[in-house]
Amino acid sequence: MERTELVIVSGFALALDRRYHAETHMWVLLTEPDRVRIGMDPLGIETSGTLAQLSFDPVGSELTAGRPFGQLEAAKFVGPLVSPVSGTVLAVNDAAAVDAGLTERDPYGSGWLIEASLSDATGELQGLLENAAEITTWFTAKLADYRRMGVIAQ
């Protein structure tokens, strides 16, 4: 996969070559017309707490938008990894399951979570943030909110 071009927003890296689900902070990268790679953006990671462990539903599992595809353990938090799209799990990142730090260090690259085929490529992808300007605006606003609330350090 090509090296990801990143912009830095107030100290946090943001990749503009993919789509984002605003509520869950999951990114979706189209790798083929009906196949995506899914990961978590740095704000999603930071607001979960330091990641201790990631686990994923097995390859072949059905994926439903808004429903879990795995679980994360972080400082003070255990909870679901929520899918931004529907489809079928085609691959899971075993390296991230063994070392959750990989997802913190390289959230847009080697720290990806799962790959999936899409059951509704046009419909669900349209509901995600896609335009670089709107992604940057959303990310900047969320970062400011989290800093104001004290859940991310100033």
Least distance (Å) from another protein to the CB of residue 104?
A: 8
Least distance (Å) from another protein to the CB of residue 89?
A: 15
Least distance (Å) from another protein to the CB of residue 70?
A: 10
Q: Is 68 one of the binding residues for another protein (CB under 8 A)?
A: yes
- CA gap 143, 96 in Å, rounded: 25
- CA gap 153, 81 in Å, rounded: 23
Tokens representing 124?
Answer: 């669900």
- Phi–psi pair at 135, nearest 5 degrees: -65, -45
Fill in the per-residue mask, 117 to 136: x = in contact with another protein (CB under 8 A), - = not in contact: --------------------
Q: Are 36 and 130 in contact (CB under 8 A)?
A: no
Binding residues for another protein (CB under 8 A)? 23, 25, 44, 46-50, 52-53, 55, 67-68, 73-80, 97-101, 104, 146, 149-153
